[in-house]
Amino acid sequence: MRLDIGDWILVTATVRFDNVSKKFTLRHERSRSFQEAALAFLRGRDNSREELWALKDVSFAVERGKTVGIIGPNGSGKSTVLKLITRILEPTSGQVVVQGRVSALIELGAGFHPDLTGRENVYLNGSLLGFSRNEMKAKFDRIVEFSELEKFIDVPIKHYSSGMHMRLGFAVAIHVDPDVLLIDEILAVGDQAFQNKCLGKIAELKSQGVTIIFVSHNLEAVRNLCPSAIWLENGVIQERGTTDRVIDSYLNNVTAVTEARLSRERRIGDNENRWGSGEVEITDVRFLDAQGRERRAFKTGERMVVRLRYHAHTEVKQPVFGLAIYGSDGVQVNGPNTKFSDYTVESVEGSGEIDYIVDMLPLLEGTYELSAAVYDQDGLHAYDHQHRMHTFIVQRGAVKERYGMIYIPCQWRHRAL
């Protein structure tokens, strides 16, 4: 019998979803009286129950030895996929086929008994995966060494921190010779050094031919570990393919949604973060691209123009226009103004506009807040100060640098001594 490519994938797949859907029934507060229950019955609806489809007709296959990332917003169905693979859940419809031993790290402390010690839980997890006590004894020292919990291995794990739970759970998961390894966002728990250690171990298992399905909001980790990816949203596969393509599509969608939200939330009239005497008012703040189009999302290295429109109710001599950009953590990135730039506006009266032009945006990927203000020449009297009232986002562009907030152009030079 001759196999085409589609048949070959089905034969070699370690994990396969065929038109899988999963429905949950959410139960809300029951009717508080007989009258409420009777009214709901007469109206033909039960307000205490609500159906939620976590997955809708999902199909994909992961070939043996491949590493696939699953991305998407919270509530998109990513964790449901992993729980269906481990048989924690059963599909409402469709078929889930899994070949080989599955080791999963999908919930903090899942499979651990809080009253048992770390040592006892290692053996318990091993028995649940079909290992004998002697087999787990042979693995035990390596598990404890990797987890770095030698001092706490005989302490009941109900006294463990979330990071200690993750360390032990991950150490067990990778040392039980899995054919399929499932990893959820749990790697966000714990210190950076141990997270890096875990990512290194995942890369090692990947090279050994273990099939890995990696769910994470850390898109850079997905890029580094996974050649291919799946974007899930609202229980439906939006796109699948090479990781770069899938992540770029996902980020473009996030940008479009964010831009629409930011446009709705423009807070020009918000007085809580606004003060000043009002002789000059900033009436509008816009972000423009190189073509003069209004946008709220830019890429590192692009041209960005911030246009302030104002109205001066009376003549004001030598006003100083200024901005300040803040990261999402509240750290101020910069604070330019016309005075620092030796750009003098002799006077303003009536309406006008002034542009702050950045030919190559040095900000790295993230969400940023902008303050816009106009002061007197000494910078002591605020005519209008709008503090962190305007938001824009920066996506990754051609610049490959990823860490921190600012890209600083540089060169590297090496010589052997």
Query: What confidence tens digit (pLDDT) does each residue in 296-314 have?
Result: 889 899 999 999 999 999 9
Which structural domain, as residue segments, surrounds residue 368? 268-395
In a domain, 93, yes or no: yes
Pairwise pLDDT comparison (329 vs 276), residue with the higher score: 276
Neighbours of 124 (CB within 10 A): 16
Label residue 81 by pLDDT band (50, 70, 90): very high
- The answer to whether residues 239 and 301 belong to one domain is no
Instruction: Give 352's strand partners.
Output: 310
- Partners of 367 in the β-ladder: 393
- The answer on 249 and 275 residing in a single domain is no
Q: What is the mean pLDDT of residues 210-215?
A: 92
Per residue in 169-205, pLDDT tens?
888 888 888 899 998 876 666 677 887 888 888 888 8
Percent of the chain with pLDDT over 90: 51
The gap from C-alpha 220 to its chain's centroid, in whole angstroms, comes to 10
Task: State the Cα–Cα distance between residues 185 and 197, nearest whole angstrom.
Answer: 15
Quick one: 364 and 232 in the same domain? Answer: no
Is the pLDDT reported for residue 145 higher than 90?
yes
In a domain, 402, yes or no: no
The CATH number of the domain holding residue 385 is 2.70.50.60
* 193 DSSP 8-state letter: H
Residue 417 covered by a domain: no
Which of 221, 255, 289 represents a domain boundary (last residue)? 255
148 and 17: one domain? Answer: yes
* CA angle, residues 188, 194, 200, in degrees to nearest 5: 95
Distance CA 82, CA 214 (A): 9
- Helix 162-174 / helix 118-128 crossing angle, nearest 10 deg: 40
Q: Is residue 391 part of a domain?
A: yes
CB atoms inside a 10 Å sphere around CB 321:
25
Least reliable range by pLDDT among 98-102, 232-236, 339-343, 368-372: 98-102
E strands, 64-92, are 67-71
Q: Are residues 95 and 189 in the same domain?
A: yes
Q: Which residue has the tokens 């794990």?
A: 157
* Closest by CA position to 18, among listed 6, 32, 36, 4: 6
* 241, 304: one domain: no
Whether residue 281 is found in the same domain as residue 203: no
In a domain, 401, yes or no: no
**One domain, residues 57 and 140:** yes
Instruction: Count the Cβ atoms, other than its own, within 10 Å of residue 148.
Output: 15
In a domain, 14, yes or no: yes
pTM of the model: 0.66
- The answer to whether 390 and 369 are in contact (CB under 8 A) is yes
Q: Pick the range with the lowest mean pLDDT from 72-81, 157-166, 252-261, 390-399.
A: 252-261
The domain boundary residue, chosen from 223, 255, 287: 255
pLDDT number for residue 366: 87
Question: Which secondary-structure segment (H or E) carries 314?
Answer: strand 304-317
132 and 228 together in one domain: yes
299 and 232 within one domain: no
pLDDT of residue 217: 84
- Of 255, 281, 310, the domain-final residue: 255
Q: Kindly state whether residues 155 and 250 are assigned to the same domain.
A: yes
> Does residue 283 sit in the same domain as residue 241?
no
pLDDT tens, 277-292?
Answer: 999 999 999 999 999 9
| Inside any domain, residue 407 | no
Cα gap 160→118, rounded to integer Å: 9
227 lies in a domain? yes
Total number of domains in the chain:
2
324-334 burial, b if ≥16 CB within 10 A, otherwise e? Answer: bbbbeeeeebe
CATH number at residue 150: 3.40.50.300
